[in-house]
Structure 1
Amino acid sequence: KLDLFDVYGSVWFGAIYVLLMVSLVGCIIPRTIVYARNIRSEPPAAPRNLLRLPDHASYDTSESPEAVAERARAVLTQRGYRLRAPREGEEGISAERGYLREVGNLVFHLSVLIVLAGFATGGLLGYKGGVILVQGTTFSNNLTSYDDFVPGSLFQADRMEPFSFTVDDFDIDWLTSGPRQGMARGFQAHLRYRESPDDAEQDYDLKVNHPLKIGSTEVFLIGHGYAPVITIRDGDGNVVYSRPTVFLPTDASFLSLGVVKAPDAQPQGIGLEGLLYPTYVKLGGDPVNVMGDDKNPLLSMLVYTGDLNMDDPAGQSVYLLDKSKATKVLKPDGSDFRIDLSLGETVELPDGLGSVTFDSITPWTRLQVSQTPGKLVALAGVSLALLGLLGSLFIRPRRVWVRTRRQGAGTLVEVAALDRSGGGDVAPVLEEIVTALQAGTDRRTPDEETS
């Protein structure tokens, strides 16, 4: 069993998840130890010949070596460099900066671990469910109210928050001109909700990307459609079906597909299958739906009679009609008997089967209810990852050395810079430091060499 239909809950996916976390821990701990050791150590001593480094400069000045060295220490300290303490027998000044670059790398790796932990928490303890609600119906947050429900591996039903809400109304703003004419520009559901049975009702306008938040649970508006109210009377004149029936959109114009099942009709069960045209027109003799708004709704359905196989132990979808044991109703000429109903119309079925009435049309909304306990942890991890990544990309670890020595009646000053990460241009840094060292001095015979 490979659990290909339940990848995130499978053993092998969990093993990969754990191995990834172990790998990250195995990367973070050694690098943290190395970094802690490096942060306590001083910059290395200056190389013997600074002029052999790729980026270097030198100049002569009448100042004493001690005065230049003192200014160099001040200039480097002001620019955030950490200096190597003077030692007996060592010449020159060693300075280094950019220690936070490795901190950025460590923070990035640690944040990935935090994100994984956040997602794991949400996947284990949280849940996600979906439900379609016709306008005017009420939803209570319990397992039996959902159309589909995906719990976490460690989910406990008693942790579900006891809220409820009613969809009072549903508004759609349709585009009436332009290339997208007939499509929805925006929609919202007007809800009345209670956070618990004893709490007072509150109002909320639910919009796309503006979920209703109740405690740690969020309710999202993710779709909508139409539910025509259909009434079926059987051959004895009894009402065997009368309620809103959810039709599912098949395209952007909201041409919708649906079925109706009346297994208890007499003398035979009745099943309907067909399309809902919210705005029906005929073009060239063919039925066409021109927009999603219900300006001219029409039902066009085929009729089936007999056993609808409702007692099948395997069950069946409410959106599909099992026709394996049913018989399609035909006209005397052998063609399909199709009922085309405008709003308010009734059609009599042949052979005394009964009648079908298209009473009204009402909107439905599809809602997603989810609880993700580790969401804030994952968000914090992503924020840390961004900060760590920025730090590792833009903080440049650099070393600078300054050496002064007597040369004739003056002092020869040698300066070199090195980018430890490679690929960085340190020439501007070198020029800036040399300029700061030369400011206000009597520079007699400048002889700068940079590369």
Structure 2
Amino acid sequence: MTAFLRNSWRQLTSMRTALVLLFLLAVAAVPGSVLPQKGVKVEDVEAYARAHPDLAPWVDRLWGFEVFTSPWFAAIYLLLFTSLVGCILPRARAHWRAVWARPPAVPRNLDRLPQHAAPADAAGDAAAAAAAAAARLRRGRWRVAARAEGEGAWGVSAEKGHLKETGNLLFHTALIAVLLGVAVGSWYGWSGNRLVVAGPDYAFCNTVQQYDEFTAGPRVDPAALPPFCIELTDFHARFLPSGQPAAFRARVAVDGDGRPRREVPVAVNNPLRLDGANAYLLGHGFAPVLRYTDRFGRAQTTAVPFLPVDDLSTGEGAAKFPDANVDPRTGARDPRLQVAFEGLFLPTVPDAPPFTRSAFPEERAPGVLLWAYRGNLGEDAGIPGSVYRLDQAAVAAGALKQVGEPKLLRRGETWTLDDRTTVEFLGTRRWVTVSVRHDPGQVPVLAGVAVVLVGLTGSLFGRRRRVFLRFTPAAGGGCQVRAGGLPRTDYPGFADEFSQVVAGAVGAPAQVRDRGGTD
């Protein structure tokens, strides 16, 4: 059992395993980029579920809409973290010793090295020639060691290229920093999405209860969110003649954060930066303003966000009036007389039917196609439901019945229903989806990525190599010189560098030969 655990640990902490886990982490992140995520934009998740009713439940069971918080993604993440730590620590110790250790002694047989040369004999004794060569190599930023070898011979060892292993360790250490940054963001970060309709009546404050979607790490206290309130004051979208979006820009009013009320612009790549959070602009659309007057003459007005269903800003939505037709004399409400409207909003109504798709995404000739329903909306049962759609189960059961035929209303037009109640299309307001996020791991991750690039550069361009020189006293005076070179990594240009280094160190040209060369 001990041997099995030891071998398993060696396999887990090997560099090959770390690379495999890094690749698996990248592959596992692909679904998070392809599929809509609940923590980013829940409206897209709902749209995906409507478009793929059979597939969406299985995707949800496999955490496809919450990839980065799924157990299987966390398992790969933790295994990679463990593998990197177990891989880096022993390599870091070995590299530290190698950096501070003297270059190894000159090999006995230099002719067996991949590169070797026999320069011209040097003048002077071997010790002086070795000292001069060592000095020249140090000026070339080589790490040098000169050793006496006996019988008057001297050897000079030089090495360069520890930057490669330093870059490797820096790269993998930075990956650990990135993983730690992601973990810190997961533990202490929070995010929430809110659809904000223009106007002071639809402003929201930074509390959990006011978010449409909210997620927080286990170390976050939801009651301690930074205080601020946001109101959408203006939104402008610009489109090309083809209908392709060109630019989006919103203006929001911010107050409640201890500073004076102020208006600031927010764009796709220009978030609202607040103390403790950033607000990002995700989506936008139209909210038709409908006024319903019931049989007792009581009018109710609401701005209902319609969610886009295509690139031309055609929107779907539902306006519900659960408090309609309340008898003012008794205050009694008949649930069977509740009213709702479901329909399509068209920013630019086509010139001819069918009126099911906008002709242009900009508001040029707005209209809303409505289906009227009367009956029990089912909201008194306390069962949660979508605010953008009617309960189709109630429609199928007959508790909510359609009234008359659908009607297209343009701005200012009124539709009179069979019970003499009316609904009027007053106009539109703009809405935006705001994603408010706090990620304390963002800065460590950014710094880690920068260090990853630095380490990767050193790993790619650093080349470990060694050069050896031996100076042996010659019979007729002076000393005989032999040289050898050993690249520690794949280095196609080492032969040329070796020739230049030997010539510069000895002060004479060298006849370079590879291992199989002849004199």
Q: Which has the higher strand share?
A: 1
> 1:135 and 2:185 equivalent?
no
Stretches of structure 2 that go unaligned for 5 or more consecutive residues are 1-59, 326-335
Cα distance in 1 between the residues matched to 2:124 and 2:365:
97
Q: Match of 1:223? A: 283
- C-alpha change, 1:41 and 1:285, in structure 2 (3 Å) is closer
Q: Match of 1:190? A: 251
> 1:395 and 2:462 equivalent?
yes
Residues 319-360 of structure 1: CA distance to partner in whole angstroms, max 9, x if unpaired?
1101333444355xxxxx01100011001112x151110001
Structure 1 position 316, deviation (Å)? 0.5
Structure ranking higher on relative contact order (CA contacts 8 Å, 6+ apart)? 1
Paired residues of 1:46 and 1:91 also in contact (CA < 8 A): no
What do you get for the CA RMSD once the two structures are aligned? 2.5
Cα distance in 2 between the residues matched to 1:270 and 1:392:
69
- C-alpha change, 1:65 and 1:403, in structure 2 (3 Å) is farther
The SS at the match of 2:105 is coil
2:227 to 151, 157, 162: 162
Paired residues of 1:308 and 1:323 also in contact (CA < 8 A): no
Cα distance in 1 between the residues matched to 2:353 and 2:360:
18
Residues 376-434 of structure 1: CA distance to partner in whole angstroms, max 9, x if unpaired?
12222222222222112211111111223355656543322221123553112112213
Cα distance in 2 between the residues matched to 1:448 and 1:100:
26
Structure 1 position 200, deviation (Å)? 1.2
Cα distance in 1 between the residues matched to 2:254 and 2:220:
24
1:359 to 417, 420, 426: 426
Q: Match of 2:293? A: 233
The one-letter amino acid of 2:103's match is: P
> 1:104 and 2:171 equivalent?
no
The SS at the match of 2:337 is coil
Q: Match of 2:483? A: 415
Cα distance in 2 between the residues matched to 1:292 and 1:271:
26
Question: What percent of counterpart residues are identical?
Answer: 34
Residues 128-165 of structure 1: CA distance to partner in whole angstroms, max 9, x if unpaired?
10011111232211112211101112211233111122
- C-alpha change, 1:131 and 1:282, in structure 2 (3 Å) is same
Residues 216-271 of structure 1: CA distance to partner in whole angstroms, max 9, x if unpaired?
310101111000101111223221x3111100001111011111111232372222
Residues 255-311 of structure 1: CA distance to partner in whole angstroms, max 9, x if unpaired?
111111112323722221111110111357665422111000011121211111112
Paired residues of 1:260 and 1:272 also in contact (CA < 8 A): yes
- C-alpha change, 1:355 and 1:238, in structure 2 (3 Å) is same
Count residues in correspondence: 434
> 1:295 and 2:364 equivalent?
yes
Paired residues of 1:419 and 1:425 also in contact (CA < 8 A): no
- C-alpha change, 1:249 and 1:405, in structure 2 (3 Å) is same
Cα distance in 1 between the residues matched to 2:494 and 2:111:
15
The SS at the match of 2:169 is helix
- C-alpha change, 1:427 and 1:195, in structure 2 (3 Å) is farther
Between 1:49-58 and 1:209-218, the stretch displaced more is 49-58
Paired residues of 2:344 and 2:356 also in contact (CA < 8 A): no
Cα distance in 2 between the residues matched to 1:56 and 1:146:
73
Structure 1 position 368, deviation (Å)? 0.3
Q: Match of 1:334? A: none
Q: Match of 1:250? A: 309
The one-letter amino acid of 1:135's match is: A
The one-letter amino acid of 1:426's match is: F
> 1:80 and 2:141 equivalent?
yes
Residues 80-105 of structure 1: CA distance to partner in whole angstroms, max 9, x if unpaired?
21112423426421111122322222
Stretches of structure 1 that go unaligned for 5 or more consecutive residues are 332-336
Paired residues of 1:104 and 1:388 also in contact (CA < 8 A): yes
The SS at the match of 1:161 is coil
Cα distance in 2 between the residues matched to 1:349 and 1:115:
61
2:347 to 274, 278, 283: 278
Q: Which has the higher helix share?
A: 2
Cα distance in 2 between the residues matched to 1:286 and 1:146:
34
The one-letter amino acid of 1:201's match is: R
1:259 to 310, 318, 331: 318
Q: Match of 1:269? A: 338
What is the TM-score normalised by the length of structure 2? 0.77
Cα distance in 1 between the residues matched to 2:256 and 2:135:
64
The SS at the match of 1:329 is strand
Cα distance in 1 between the residues matched to 2:101 and 2:463:
18
Residues 92-128 of structure 1: CA distance to partner in whole angstroms, max 9, x if unpaired?
2111112232222222222122111111111111111
The SS at the match of 2:94 is helix
Structure 1 position 365, deviation (Å)? 0.9
What is the TM-score normalised by the length of structure 1? 0.88
Q: Match of 1:148? A: 213
Cα distance in 2 between the residues matched to 1:448 and 1:32:
35
Q: Match of 2:14? A: none
The SS at the match of 1:189 is strand
The SS at the match of 2:381 is coil
Cα distance in 1 between the residues matched to 2:348 and 2:361:
7
The one-letter amino acid of 2:315's match is: S
Cα distance in 2 between the residues matched to 1:16 and 1:293:
46
Cα distance in 2 between the residues matched to 1:250 and 1:417:
68
Paired residues of 1:399 and 1:419 also in contact (CA < 8 A): yes
Cα distance in 2 between the residues matched to 1:201 and 1:285:
46
- C-alpha change, 1:254 and 1:3, in structure 2 (3 Å) is closer
Between 1:322-331 and 1:99-108, the stretch displaced more is 322-331
The SS at the match of 2:135 is helix
Cα distance in 1 between the residues matched to 2:357 and 2:69:
44
Q: Match of 1:309? A: 378
The SS at the match of 2:466 is strand
2:119 to 48, 59, 63: 59
- C-alpha change, 1:418 and 1:216, in structure 2 (3 Å) is farther
